[in-house]
Amino acid sequence: MIYEIPGERIGTLEDFYRVIGEVINGPGGYFGSNLDAFDDCLRGDFGTPDGGFTLRWLRSNVSRQALGYAETVRQLELRLARCHPLSREHVARELERARRSEGPTVFDWLVDIIQEADDVAWELA
């Protein structure tokens, strides 16, 4: 099974969650809207087949740009506003790094999750 992510449809992390839900589970498909849910989806039992599959991210350069530092700053600002008080210092440091265009971006977060998933072959196209 090959799932193709249309990179031109992704402008925000929320767009990614919507698109990946549709790619895997069909129109209106949903599996969650957070990084942990995406990780769970790739590991099975949320529409993905047992025994592995291929995830092909088409026009990934468009997504890479859209999910760059501006989106990372936005996501970290949202995270900082709702995180546990004990996590605030860590998230604030990550936010400051992103504001300086340093460290991983949202695109990097997603690629890391894909890379760590067992039984998922993947490619950026």
If asked whether residues 48 and 94 sit together in one domain, one would say no
If asked whether residues 117 and 95 sit together in one domain, one would say no
Of 96, 102, 75, 92, the residue nearest 12 (C-alpha): 75
Residue 101 has pLDDT above 90, yes or no: yes
**Domain of residue 99, residue span:** 73-104
- The answer to whether 47 and 62 have CB atoms below 8 angstroms apart is no
If asked whether residues 41 and 78 sit together in one domain, one would say no
If asked whether residues 11 and 61 sit together in one domain, one would say yes
Our count of domains for the chain comes to: 2
Considering the chain, what is the average pLDDT of its residues?
Answer: 92
Residues 63-97: pLDDT tens digits? Answer: 999 999 999 999 999 999 999 999 999 999 999 99
Residues 11-36: pLDDT tens digits? Answer: 999 999 999 989 988 887 777 889 99
Whether the model pTM is above 0.85: yes
CATH number of the domain bearing residue 24: 3.30.370.10
